[in-house]
Amino acid sequence: MIRKSIALGIPIKPSALILAFALAAGICVAGEPSRPGVDPSSDCGLDYYSQGGVVVDGVAYFTANDYSRLPGVTRTERFPCVVAFDVTTFRKIRSYPFTFTYDSSPLVFQRRDGTWLVIAHEWKQKRTKAVHRDTGKIEWVSEANQPGAYFFGYSLYRRDDGSKLILMACQNGLHALSSETGRDVWWIRRRSTGGITPCVDQASGVIFYQCDGKLLKIRAADGHVLREVDVPTPHRCISWNTVLVDDSFGRFVATRWYGRPEWDSSIRVYDWD
């Protein structure tokens, strides 16, 4: 049942705003600014990368947004759409051969053999691709069954055998990919406007997933739907994160839903059960 509906305000540090602006605008924090052209690049490596990022061991990984460009810039399928840079110096460490990602975060994780992978969603190709973090070599490519540009980012579930389920939500439902091969372990087919990043309760072995008009509680091991709740309007899913709350007040699942127009939205908090 719904316990409460609230409006949330989350403070953002000024330094985070500066970095986000630099990434979105294509401004180099260090080094010479890039110039308009075809598939531009610069020493600092912050050309047209925006919003979705992750930091691992002092290195930030960002994707490229199709719409974060300076006037006159053209980007082709050869543009490396994921970059890694040092968070202290803002100097580029490596770029990765992903093509046409969107405004989402990559994921960096270890496979069972200890290999570090970087994965991102190539929305025009409708697929997830994994590359070796240190060499840039392509390790696996998923099936082309992940449609839609609206994808906010991945989450993961750790399995008993040491591998992981990579959780990817898109217009046709929730995919649980093998971290070792990129193949679907299970797939819950639902219709949705976009992909909300699901939340994982690792200790309990469950996943909470939003799609248009529905909130699902899922058993992670096999994708069995334990509970499915109808959500009243506004109830569209475009992009965002489902949030697991575990504090002194109890255990809850915080959700956001878009309306028409998009700013006619709602935040709803549900009981964990």
Is the CB of residue 87 less than 8 Å from the CB of residue 98? no
Give 48's contacts (C-beta < 8 A, 6+ positions apart).
26, 40, 64, 65, 68, 69, 70, 73, 75
Q: Could you say which residues of the chain have pLDDT below 70?
A: 1-36, 42-51, 66-72
Residue closest to 146 by CA, chosen among 167, 166, 172: 172
Residue closest to 89 by CA, chosen among 25, 35, 45: 45
H helix and E strand count, the chain = 1, 22
Cis peptide bond N-terminal to 71, omega within 30: no
Residues 11-51 have pLDDT tens digits of 333 334 334 434 433 444 444 444 557 777 766 555 555 66
pLDDT at residue 67, as a whole number:
59
Query: How far is 267 from 19, CA to CA, in rounded Å?
Result: 27
Residues 181-220 have pLDDT tens digits of 999 999 999 999 999 999 999 999 999 999 999 999 999 9
Cα 242 to Cα 109, 224, 226: the distances in Å are 20, 19, 17
CA angle centred on 264, ends 259 and 265, rounded to 5°: 70
Query: How far is 43 from 28, CA to CA, in rounded Å?
Result: 9
Tell me the CATH number at 205.
2.40.128.630
pLDDT at residue 193, as a whole number:
95
In three state form, how does the secondary structure of 62-120 look?
A: EEECCCCCCCCCECCCCCCCEEEEECCCCCEEEEECCCCCCCCCCEEEECCCCCEEEEE
pLDDT at residue 151, as a whole number:
86
Q: Structural domain of residue 120, as residue ranges? A: 2-271
Query: How far is 70 from 24, CA to CA, in rounded Å?
Result: 10
Residue 247 β-bridge partners:
250
pLDDT at residue 77, as a whole number:
85
Give 4's contacts (C-beta < 8 A, 6+ positions apart).
269
Cis peptide bond N-terminal to 261, omega within 30: yes
pLDDT at residue 44, as a whole number:
58
pLDDT at residue 162, as a whole number:
95
Query: How far is 196 from 130, CA to CA, in rounded Å?
Result: 20
Number of domains within the chain = 1
Residue 37 β-bridge partners:
none
| Residue 34: both structure tokens together | 């890039």
Query: How far is 98 from 68, CA to CA, in rounded Å?
Result: 17
Give 157's contacts (C-beta < 8 A, 6+ positions apart).
164, 165, 167, 176, 200, 202, 205, 207, 220
Is the CB of residue 44 less than 8 Å from the CB of residue 79? no
